[in-house]
Homo-oligomer: A and B are copies of this chain.
Amino acid sequence: MASALRVLGIDPGLTRCGVGVVDVARDRSAALVHVGVVRSVVDLPIAERLATIAAGLRQVIAAHRPDVVAVERVFAQQNRATVMGTAQASGVALLLAAEHGLAAATHTPSEVKAAITGYGSADKRQVQTMVARVLRLDVLPQPADAADALAIALCHAWRRAAPGAGAAVPGGADDLTPAQRAWAEAERAAARR
């Protein structure tokens, strides 16, 4: 898609970090570019696990050259046992985006659900079914982390493309400037092609 925005969605995690790359056109149509999971071995030291995740994310960025990166936002209230590792992985994902000169935004799980299905309390299966339909996939992407990464990527593109998206987006005010900048830059780049 010549004028599409290419978004790398990341569902951060230490054991499984979902990655999904989609091209999204101005008419909101979308095409799958890449989907997968970066894994790290549970019994390695935490620093080596984060380095494994970083290496996998760098490979995806190098192979697919996204215009922008969208990462699911982590909350302290979520699953206690793994939330710190998830937050650490999200920090690594956001760092890599910045170090590649890519705009990065975060979206909450309910923002993602609302963007994909129309309501913020949709269940995971409903989100995955809609992602598969939008991307014209015959089967639901597996594992769930990979499907979630695609949902985050679509959410990001659609929220940014929506008319009037801006300061009115709840909770997103701090992410908007770089994402809007990325969209404008991608459009200008596409116009020059």
Interface residues of A (CB under 8 A from B): 45-48, 50-51, 54, 69, 74-76, 80, 83-84, 87-92, 94-95, 97-99, 103-104, 106, 174-175, 177-178
Contacts and interface: CB of A to CB of B under 8 A. Distances in A.
Nearest to A43: B174
B94 A83 contact: no
Contacts of A91: 50, 87-92
B46 A106 contact: yes
Contacts of A98: 47-48, 50-51
A169 to B, nearest CB: 15
Contacts of A89: 91
A89 B94 CA distance: 11
Contact of A92 (B48, B74, B92): B92
A99 B54 contact: yes
9 contacts: A46-B94, A47-B103, A54-B95, A74-B84, A76-B83, A83-B87, A88-B94, A89-B91, A95-B95
A174 B45 contact: yes
A182 to B, nearest CB: 11
Contacts of A174: 45-46
